[in-house]
Amino acid sequence: MSKKLAIGVIGAGRIGQIHAKALAFMVPRAEVACVSDLRLDAAKALADECGAAKTTDDYQDIINDKSIDAVCICSTTDTHAQIMEEAANVGKHVFCEKPIALELPAIDKALAAVKKAGIVLMLGFNRRYDSGNIAIRDAVSSGKVGIPELCLITSRDPAPPPLDHMKLTGGFFLDTSIHDFDIARFVLGDEPEEVFSYAACRVDPRIGEIGDFDTCMHTLRFKNGAFCNIDNSRRATYGYDQRVEVFGSKGSIATVNKLENNTVFADGDGIHTPPLQNFFLERYLAAYQAEGRIFVDCVQSGTQPPSGGYDGRISVVMAKAALKSVREKRPVRMEEVEA
């Protein structure tokens, strides 16, 4: 076996565990070399599970460890940009969870360091590595659906995360809608021009009390003329609802939801299938595994991944434009956020 890519996982929470396990078990050419977390116990537990030799409660130990080739940034949002910059400065490749940061200047500073260092940077837009979304993207880019005219994206979580988590993530649009903004660009192969958004707090009044939303609808116009609607909710009783549809001049292509299992039960009340796969860990398991493999491929071949720094930045611009639209009750153009 050739040498495996040694990866330091920073942050041993829910998403850190997903990435660490995918890298350890499903990516033959990678190994988890070290796990860091402010809670050393959490770091040790994950390291043990993934066969990682080292643990630390200070991510700087990973930055300074010359035997580590790349970092996987899964810490809280407010630390992403700083760690990315430090890793780039020492020549380590970076896989980073979204968003890079909540403000554009911080993003631009980190991306400048990445560019200067010439490292590989991959953003954690896991849905780009889902086989269904890839099939839609391919059907659009190959011309199979013709010119894209309408796009519908539904993304509804089964239940809201803890309030403390929500406070740290930049709010509903930067935490959740950001995935849909990214996937709209991905499947349409086009850039957004303008967004009009409605948002409200319908699920839990405590979400409104911290100034956040839990239910929203975004309507976008893309540069080539496609209209796109995104609807989001923090609570769907029937599971994790994930659908994308692109309608074009030659046809339409859409993903359907994945269910807990493939049975159909019939009785006097009707025909019943199980609920949707409950949440992202189940629904996008294969996508997370593909994401890990592609990151290692890109590092080893020196190519840029399908989700990079620009994607990380523009998705934040879209979220900010949507927020401005809600506040000012009008459609907002992307360049208004840049100013």
Choosing from 76, 251, 303, 338, the residue that interacts with its own copies (CB under 8 A) is: 251
# chain residues binding its own copies, by CB under 8 A: 74
- Exposed e or buried b per residue across 222-252, where buried means at least 16 C-beta atoms within 10 angstroms of its C-beta: beeebebbbbbbbebeebbbbebbbbbeeee
| By the rule CB under 8 A, 2 interacts with its own copies | no
CB 236 within 8 A of CB 156: yes
| By the rule CB under 8 A, 263 interacts with its own copies | yes
CB 73 within 8 A of CB 96: yes
Binding residues for its own copies restricted to 174-233, rule: CB under 8 A: 196, 198, 200, 202-203, 215-217, 219, 221, 225, 227, 229, 231, 233
x/- track of binding to its own copies for residues 67-106 (CB under 8 A): ----------------------------------------
Instruction: Read off φ and ψ for residue 65, nearest 5 degrees.
Output: -85, 110
Q: Which stretch binds its own copies (CB under 8 A): 36-44, 176-184, 252-260, 292-300?
A: 252-260
Name the minimum Å distance from CB 46 to its own copies: 13
Name the minimum Å distance from CB 240 to its own copies: 12
Q: Which stretch binds its own copies (CB under 8 A): 63-71, 99-107, 146-154, 167-175?
A: 146-154
Name the minimum Å distance from CB 199 to its own copies: 9
Q: Which is nearer to its own copies, 111 or 228 (CB)?
A: 228
Q: Work out the burial of residue 256: count CB atoms within 10 Å of its CB; fewer than 13 is exposed, 13-18 middle, 19 or more buried.
A: exposed
**C-alpha separations of 264 from 1, 259, 260, 273 in Å:** 45, 11, 11, 5
| By the rule CB under 8 A, 264 interacts with its own copies | yes
CB 11 within 8 A of CB 38: no
Name the minimum Å distance from CB 129 to its own copies: 13
| By the rule CB under 8 A, 254 interacts with its own copies | yes
Structure tokens belonging to residue 312: 């990380």
Binding residues for its own copies restricted to 51-70, rule: CB under 8 A: 51
Instruction: Read off φ and ψ for residue 138, nearest 5 degrees.
Output: -65, -40
| By the rule CB under 8 A, 277 interacts with its own copies | no
Of 63, 72, 120, which is closest to residue 96 (Cα–Cα)? 72
Q: How far apart are CA 244 and CA 249, in angstroms?
A: 17
Binding residues for its own copies restricted to 147-166, rule: CB under 8 A: 147, 149-150, 152, 154, 156
